[in-house]
């Protein structure tokens, strides 16, 4: 099982992406990514997004580095 943590540092908060992946010879058996916003003052974390689509965590981290928090708006699902 492979675990990967990506932290995108900001001025007042950090975006932290935790990825867990389990593979075998045939391919990916299990993938889970969680995106948190961590407050720099007190270290409190808030879950923003959770996904099971492979490699989405890296895509989210890359978009946050390029566009900031506005990138997370495209991944959130709004309930009608």
Q: What is the pLDDT of residues 39-51, one digit of tens each?
A: 989 989 999 889 8
CA-closest candidate to residue 75, choices 34, 39, 41, 46:
34
pLDDT per position as a tens digit, 24-39? 888 768 899 999 999 9
Tokens standing for 44?
Answer: 């409190």
pLDDT of 60 strictly over 90: no
Confidence of residue 3 (pLDDT cuts 50, 70, 90): very high
Diameter of the chain measured on Cα atoms: 44
With 0.85 as the threshold, say if the pTM is over it. Answer: no
Query: How far apart (Å, rounded) are the C-alpha atoms in residues 77 and 80?
Result: 10
pLDDT of 80 reads 39
Strands (E), 1-80: 2-9, 13-24, 27-39, 45-51
């Amino acid at each position: 099982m492979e675990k990967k943590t990506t932290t995108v540092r900001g001025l007042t908060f950090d975006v932290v992406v935790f990825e867990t992946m389990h593979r075998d010879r045939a391919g990916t058996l299990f993938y889970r990514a969680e995106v948190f916003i961590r407050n720099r003052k007190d270290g409190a974390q808030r879950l923003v997004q959770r996904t099971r689509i492979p490699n989405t965590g890296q895509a989210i981290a890359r978009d946050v580095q390029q566009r900031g928090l506005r990138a997370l708006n495209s991944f959130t699902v709004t309930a009608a």
